[in-house]
A and B are shown apart, each in its own frame.
Chain A
Amino acid sequence: MRKFIEGSMAVSESVKLCRPDVVAAYPITPQTHIVEFLSQMVADGDLKTEFINVESEFGAASIVLGAAAAGARAYSATSAQGLLLMGEVIFNIAGMRLPLVITIANRAVSAPISIWNDHSDAVIFRDAGLIMLFAEDAQELMDMHPQAYKIAENPEISLPASVNMDGFILTHAFEPVDILDQKLVDDFLPPFEPVYKLDVDNPITMGLLAEPTWYMETRYKLKETMEDALSIIEKVADEFKEKTGRYYGGLIDTYRMEDAETAFVAMGSLVGTIKDVVDTLRAKGEKVGVLKIRSFRPFPAEKIREACSNLKQLVVFDKSYSLGLGTVLQEELRSCFYNRKHQPIISGFVVGLGGRDVPPQSLIDAYRKTLGKEILNEFVDLNTKVLGG
């Protein structure tokens, strides 16, 4: 059924279809609507789940950890400060190999306090062992949540997965969405079979202390699993395509890359903008294309190199910055081509921090500025008056 709905509603409808056993979340702008819609569904009897009104994001994350440990399918959602407050627990969930899904409505991290979108919250957790997928639009959000559960709950993976969506841009904008059929989702996503769980009929101890003799191997195993996740993410996307005919990419997606010489690279809703930019430039005969990073963690280095094998240049548009180093996506791409036979020229531009609007013309101007050469860590559209220039 096709409906004109808010991005947050697409998320809520999608999560409902995944039949979560336990939902625990704490309100934070711009995630609020997701959880409000879910609680209305529960109140109307449309969603049978244990819905817990928690005292903080830390509580929410701990509750879904406990629920997953007891063998239940659990869900939470948050943004920026809330995600940071969950921080300790996210590492804990990944280290304890418990699968669950968290929707992150990406928002700038305080200070200064900002409720608007950028990717600074998500990138903080790139080391945690959390699978991180970035959605481009509301339809992809509908499609991504069952996929996220399927990846997380795979017994070879057994890790938490995050669905990242740009705060306000995707949460609060209305788009036409094909709501998935419950039967299709049930078929695609079977009931959760935990690899291990708390059960009085089969008692085990979880969360033991690991002395130096034991700790390193657990991290090695996590490294191996994140690598295994690369092929699982592709497989699950392909399976979903078979069932629905829709494909938003696996680890990456490409647009008009067949004969491109330059590719614009981005994650999340920005991909939609750069597709428009590419169409504009293609109309003028320029050989440009789009590289969409769909899976940020695990980082699909091999797939990226494959897709860029004929490119002269990459122009990265990033909504995050690693202070003291450089823009995050730019650095990760540079390292994925380091010492390889083919190395496109890579430039990196910082856009849209704190919800700053990203007009397509600004992206074109930035691209023009490169003149085919490398520009690194350049902030786009800075207000020189504010900077005291």
Chain B
Amino acid sequence: MSKPILLTSSPGTSKVNKTGGWRTLVPVFKHDTCNDCRICVTVCPDACIFGQDNEYHPDLDFCKGCGICAYECPVDDIDMVLEVK
């Protein structure tokens, strides 16, 4: 008797895949004019912006450098710069 192979996965197993390796540009959160609106958190397609109290940061393991957070930040507190590894 052999148990069926079920081919299922548990929640969040995608996090072994470190998509941070994809990027050329990296967001720099200046923590200068941030007003805690959290629009950056809302608009990140990879759900990888975290923080609290006007201090937010990207999870660099996963950030693909798409630049949406920088584009949408209403107070211009995020810059996209060429990442030097």
Interface 9-mer from A77-85, A214-222, A353-361: A214-222
> Which of B1, B3, B7 has most chain A Cβ within 10 Å?
B7
CB of B8 within 8 A of CB of A208, answer: yes
CB B45 to nearest CB in A, in angstroms, measures 19
Bound: A158/B9 CA distance, A: 18
CB contact between A224 and one of B2, B8, B10, B11 (< 8 Å): that residue: B2
CB of B1 within 8 A of CB of A156, answer: yes
Interface residues in B1-49 by Cβ distance below 8 A to A read 1-11
The size of the chain A interface, using a CB distance under 8 A, is 22
The size of the chain B interface, using a CB distance under 8 A, is 11
CB of B8 within 8 A of CB of A221, answer: no
Contacts of A217 in B (CB 8 A): 5
| A-side interface mostly | loop
CB of A157 within 8 A of CB of B10, answer: no
CB contact between B6 and one of A97, A157, A203, A224 (< 8 Å): that residue: A97
CB B3 to nearest CB in A, in angstroms, measures 6
CB contact between A195 and one of B2, B4, B10, B11 (< 8 Å): that residue: B4
The yes or no answer to A371 lying at the interface (CB within 8 A) is no
CB A74 to nearest CB in B, in angstroms, measures 18
Which residue of A has the minimal Cβ distance to B14?
Answer: A205
CB of A214 within 8 A of CB of B2, answer: no
Interface residues of A (CB under 8 A from B): 96-97, 155-159, 195-196, 203-206, 208, 210, 214, 217-218, 221, 224-225, 228
Interface residues of B (CB under 8 A from A): 1-11
9 closest A-B pairs by CB: A221-B5, A224-B2, A97-B4, A204-B8, A205-B9, A158-B4, A156-B1, A218-B5, A203-B11
